[in-house]
A and B are shown apart, each in its own frame.
Chain A
Amino acid sequence: MTRIRFQQSLDELKEKLLVMAGLAEQQIQRAIESYRVRDLTICDLVDRSEQAINRMEREIDQAALDILAMEQPMAIDLRFILAVIKINSDVERVGDAAKSISDRVRVMEHLASIELPVDIPRMATLASNMVRRALQAFIEADAELARAVLSMDDAVDGINRAAHSALSALMAAESQHAPQALTALMVCRSLERVADHATNIAEDVIFWVQGADVRHQGSLNQN
């Protein structure tokens, strides 16, 4: 084995990204919990983590840039750096989505609590599982696990579409509940984005491990 320092810097980069990803995963779970129990102290925790995640995003990009400039990585190492840069961005956006949910919880605080025709806890569990599995695939360099994450996205999209129809119908039928329905719609939208980011992370893991670009396969095949 040669280039020991280079290998160490790759390991350090991966570790940094995993610390940040751990924070983002925790943040999305806290945001969901704050929605479930309507607890603004949890929202405060989400806000604080958001700043830490933003700071780490910049540090990781800088470390990746340094490696590109100093070490000129090739092949699997080059793919790894590209994957890290893209996963870094997706993880930060998972953090943004958590913040967005927590912002909605603050709005909900002022609204009457009503029963909504949407299974947000289930959607949250699915999206959160996708993030966890995508990160597990990254930790273990497991392309098969990453492919399994891709197949989970349809379920989240399905719930989001159903929620959109049901909440639109509710707004039309009971306009006094439109603010609650709109808030729930925005939470659904954030969770759907979390699932999309998990999908992106999984695609980047496949690119890193196998060198295969599996993005947009359905739409590109149609054209």
Chain B
Amino acid sequence: MEPLMAVAIGLLYATAIFMMLRRSIVKLVIGLMLLSNAANLLIFTTAGMTRGAPPLIPEGMMQPPSGVADPLPQAVVLTAIVIAFGVLAFAVVLIRRAYEVVKADDLDKMKDTDT
């Protein structure tokens, strides 16, 4: 499972960076979305993937048996998803507004503030 995930994550990062290097601001935001998803999957995978062993403490024991899945990365990924969702919602509104103001879906037309 891990090698497959690794390849998928690598592809996601690559696609995201390719999209971010395009001139269109819509593709820029798509790139950002893919990038945050890639990071979330990466956390999920690096922490180790355990199948069929939920971290539950059986009755009568004080601690879970060894070999259970680590619940922390899932909590971390959940938090990261929520944050990414909020930030991307903002980014989508931003590009819409930028398109209204600049009247172009092209980063090359947005060089006024550069020096």
A, B in one complex = no
Which residues does B use to contact A, with CB under 8 Å? Answer: none
Which residues does A use to contact B, with CB under 8 Å? Answer: none
